[in-house]
Amino acid sequence: MPDEDAQNDLLVEVMKLLQKFQPGGESGPIADRAEWEKRVQAHAPQDRELLQELTRFGDLWRYFHARSTRNSWSAFLMLVKVLSFGTNWWARFGRDSFDPRRFTRHAAYYNSTGVQCGRKVRRHWIISGLVRFNGVGDFNPHLPNRSLGCTFHCSDLTFAFGGNRLLLHRKVSKSEVPECCLVVLTSELHGRMDFGSYAWKSPSATAIAASQLREKQEVMLLMKPGDWVRTNCGFWQLTTTPNGPVGIALELTGEQVSAGMTTV
């Protein structure tokens, strides 16, 4: 079987070559800056100058990339009370495989709308967007529902990387008054919404994300007291409830919204 032997030998050589580019390999990534500088100095002068220039370029790229990412998330401008979360959760961990905190403080956790498809949740976004929690904050990704009813210091809602983004930074005290609420509605619980209509929600309610697949719908919004969403069940209006568990709730008002609010 000479052909099979040749293929096996080629596969072995390819694996050896790939191992050189793995962490710890001859040409693998170097986490230790001092070790990198040492290897650069070992090259011939003309190669050393090129490697030093490439190193400076890499440092400059990382600096501007980090500053751009920070600026898109770091302006904490409003207080948001979380009333509900979307169906879709996922996490991203630190890229540095040598970082001992890549799965904790340097991780990020995301929530958005989605549609249950069998055992999996698919995005099926018609409005792309998400909310984010950083691992360095006080959000517990293992018990996300403990954040329901809590108020967070948040960034302003921005559009970046192809969708709406809202960073929930840290919880604030219960005495702080939120400016708006994070609310999620589903067709299963609240009725079907007509996203094609200009009057499916109140003008001041802001849609962060929306998913739709045939009859299944889910939408995530920022809403203020008095804001509403219209479904085939009627109007769901965000109403203050002084005797309620969190002081505000989404209530079905029927075919009309409460006094003082118009339907556009």
Q: Examine the domain organization and report whether 93 and 38 are in the same domain.
A: no
Distance of CA 121 to the CA centre of its chain: 15
Dist. CA 11–CA 15, nearest whole Å = 6
| Residue range(s) defining the domain that contains residue 65 | 33-73
Which of 21, 43, 73 marks a domain boundary? Answer: 73
Q: Examine the domain organization and report whether 82 and 156 are in the same domain.
A: yes
Dist. CA 249–CA 179, nearest whole Å = 14
Tens digits of per-residue pLDDT, 193-208?
Answer: 988 888 899 999 999 9
What number is the average pLDDT over the span 232-244? 85
Cβ atoms 223, 178 nearer than 8 A: no
Q: Examine the domain organization and report whether 84 and 102 are in the same domain.
A: yes
Q: Examine the domain organization and report whether 94 and 222 are in the same domain.
A: yes
Q: Examine the domain organization and report whether 212 and 124 are in the same domain.
A: yes
Which of the two residues, 115 and 102, has the higher pLDDT score? 115
Say if residue 119's pLDDT is above 70. yes
Encoded tokens for 123: 């995005």
Q: Is residue 15 included in any domain, yes or no?
A: no
Other beta carbons within 10 angstroms of residue 239's beta carbon come to 17
Q: Examine the domain organization and report whether 185 and 106 are in the same domain.
A: yes
Q: Is residue 152 included in any domain, yes or no?
A: yes
Tens digits of per-residue pLDDT, 124-161?
Answer: 898 899 999 887 777 888 888 888 988 998 888 888 77
Q: Examine the domain organization and report whether 40 and 143 are in the same domain.
A: no
Question: Tokens 């498809």 belong to which residue?
Answer: 117
Say if residue 264's pLDDT is above 50. no
The per-residue pLDDT for 220 is 95
Domain count across the chain = 2
Q: Examine the domain organization and report whether 125 and 242 are in the same domain.
A: yes
User: What kind and span of H or E run contains 14?
Assistant: helix 2-19
